[in-house]
Amino acid sequence: MYDINRIESLRLAALQPRIDYTPFYYQFHKSYIARRSDISASHRFAMALTDAFDNWPAEIAPGELIVGRPSETPLTPEEQAEWQLISQYALGEQHAPIGQDSHMAFDYNRLLTMGTAGIKAMIDEKIAALPEGAPESVKKTDFYHSCQICLTALERLSDKYADKAAELAAAETDPVQKAEYEKIAEICRKVPKYPASSFYEAVQSTAFVTYAMSVKPLRPSMLQYQLGRPDRYLYPYYKADKEAGVLTDDFAQTLIDCMCIQINRRVPSGLSSGFMVGGRLADGTPVSNAITRMCMRAIGHNRLVYPSLGLCHCSDTPKEDLELACSLLAKGHSHPAIFNDDVITAGLRYYGLAPEDACSYIHSTCVEITPCACSNVWVASPYMNLPGELVAVLNSGTFVSMDELYNAYTAHIARRIKANCDFQILGRYERAKYCPDPLLSCFVKDCLETGTDIEEGGARCNWIMPSFVGMANAADGLAAIRKLVFEDGTVTLERYKAALADNFASDPALHTMIRKLPGYGNSDIAEGNPEWYVKTLSAWIADECEHYTVPFSGGRLIPSLFCWVMHDRFGQVTGATPDGRLAGFPLGDGSGPAQGREMEGPTTSLLSSTCWDHTRFIGGIAVNMKFSASLLGEHSTDMLAVLIGTYLDRGGFEIQINVTDNRILEDARFHPENYRDLVVRIGGYSDYFTRLSPTMQEEVIRRTSHTL
């Protein structure tokens, strides 16, 4: 029987967890500083990691079946005082503050089939094959030895959890709980050191190593590694155990749910961490199995902000998978997001990936696509404020035609793209010099194959993905200026700029004129309309990014049109914009229409959102839609599936759904204590509504609410 009471207890504990990696960083840097000059940076990292893992407390709560999470034991006052001194020195050593981490899924197949002992044996073979006396062999040997030290440290950390479980078992009087502790001890002594031989072992190994990776000691930050494609790498273990009669579906579901809950114990809310299911294999076979559906059902069981689940939908996806996804969304869950596997795979092939890599990708946090097991991609590097840049161009001079203004705008954006790319490239070189990561390198192709650290270019794909925020605002603004200033002549450009400067306070009539114009989201692709500008500007951005290469293997500049929370952050510091958006309000929340601008219903809105080519925007596209829960009808799930199918058939990249009521959202604003687990979809990720900023809460409420 499915253990609903266990999951509810663990769920409540994960709703407001204490996530603190300070004890790890304290131990790491204490050791790292002590070894400042006697060994290489890579070896120094490995030895400090060992000391940190050896001193990282292992905690296991009753009912936990999957273990590995940050300790809730804080530093002592003496350690805290010492950490204040150490951190000043340690953070002063951080020569590479820019760039992204953890926006990837590492090689779970390697982990599960080889174990860390097998990977160390593989490294021995690599060392033995190095040419004797070659200068490069010295560096590679040092890297390889550092990798082995890190893997041994990982094994010792798992042994610590085994010891803790055995200790708890010895003191436990309840026979059921005692048996659970004993099983945890048995499994933690086997994996991740050795290959997994059961479904339980595979889930524990997967979750545990992901937890152990969730620190970046030379760049302290909250990391959010994704779990890749569990319905691919876990399914063989499930199938074997089912055929052997040693696993029930209820227990398999319980383990999946526990794995999902643990994500919330290691990743703070406001970020995004999860996995994908579905899609196709390299040979074209659709992926749909019991684990696919268990992963989706975990969303309804856990009702937490994580996992961020993506269903990769292709033309061969079984109807039952999409129906299950739609039923979850219709019940108010913000997951799964629906990704177009055909479009994304085509985009990855366009950028040079082999079929076996192109079919295995992850939405690396929100909607950014990175290849599993082989990438070191910097997503959203950086974000760019498209409507803010338009205002800057408007204020830079006088323009006598729309063409002159548009050309000045694209020239300005081109300069910004180049400057940002140059800055990111410098960061790549800085990271390569100062921030080795031999542990992560063990699980990313082709680091071990080539003897190259991931930060030095060992991964196959080293992309940089700038993200362009506020496309809908920019398009609406360009169309409004064209119509009112250069076509109708009812407004001068100087009047327009003056109104923007004082937030339309002195010219409310102009604001009314602008807001009465059709906005992006009303499916009119005629030249000069917002849809036309989205189509034209997005194609130009994709072309412009293709002019650049970045360091290391497969280095490219690949664009994105999503925002995470940046539409709110940019909005807070951006004055009024030409689309009539007032100062301080968030920009558009993705690549769909700006909040409240689509007036012709959900189908028309999606026609607009797919009037341009999504294929090259592998950096991520987010289209948000909101539906009124109180107005969903008897057949709403079927209609939602049809609507999503229309979007995907037209080449849509990704769509995410919020089903809620403004009445509930308004009440949650004033009585947050009653809605601690109210999860809403933002700009590519989900978050607890009551933890959002006031402006973000207002933005969610003001999105157009559709009915079915």
> How far apart, in whole angstroms, are the C-alpha atoms of residue 104 and residue 336?
18
pLDDT for position 705: 66
Tokens 């080795």 sit on residue: 436
Look at phi and psi of residue 234 and say left if phi exceeds 0, alpha if psi is from -120 to 50, else beta.
alpha
For 308-361, the pLDDT digits (tens) are: 999 999 999 999 999 999 999 988 898 999 999 999 999 999 999 999 999 999
Beta carbons within 8 Å of 577's beta carbon, 6+ residues apart: 387, 388, 390, 391, 470, 473, 477, 500, 587
Check: CB of residue 126 under 8 Å from CB of residue 448: yes
Measure Cα distances from 276 to 345, 566, 672 in Å: 14, 24, 31
Q: Which residues of the chain have pLDDT under 70?
A: 37-38, 90-97, 631-635, 704-708
Tokens 């990561």 sit on residue: 437
For 562, phi then psi, to 5°, come to -140, 180
* Residue 635, CB-side half-sphere exposure with 13 Å CA sphere: 4
> How far apart, in whole angstroms, are the C-alpha atoms of residue 493 and residue 485?
6
pLDDT for position 526: 93
Measure Cα distances from 524 to 351, 402, 432, 598, 605 in Å: 31, 19, 48, 11, 10
Reduced to 3 states (helix: H, G, I; strand: E, B; else coil), residue 385 is strand
pLDDT for position 631: 59
pLDDT for position 625: 84
Structure tokens at 449: 């194959």
Look at phi and psi of residue 284 and say left if phi exceeds 0, alpha if psi is from -120 to 50, else beta.
left
> How far apart, in whole angstroms, are the C-alpha atoms of residue 626 and residue 622?
13
pLDDT for position 8: 96
For 547-597, the pLDDT digits (tens) are: 999 999 889 999 999 998 899 999 999 999 999 999 999 999 888 888 877
Q: What is the pTM of this model?
A: 0.94
Measure Cα distances from 10 to 184, 199, 404, 458, 555 in Å: 17, 21, 60, 39, 42
Check: CB of residue 604 under 8 Å from CB of residue 521: yes
> Which one, of 177, 173, 212, lies nearest residue 192 by Cα?
212
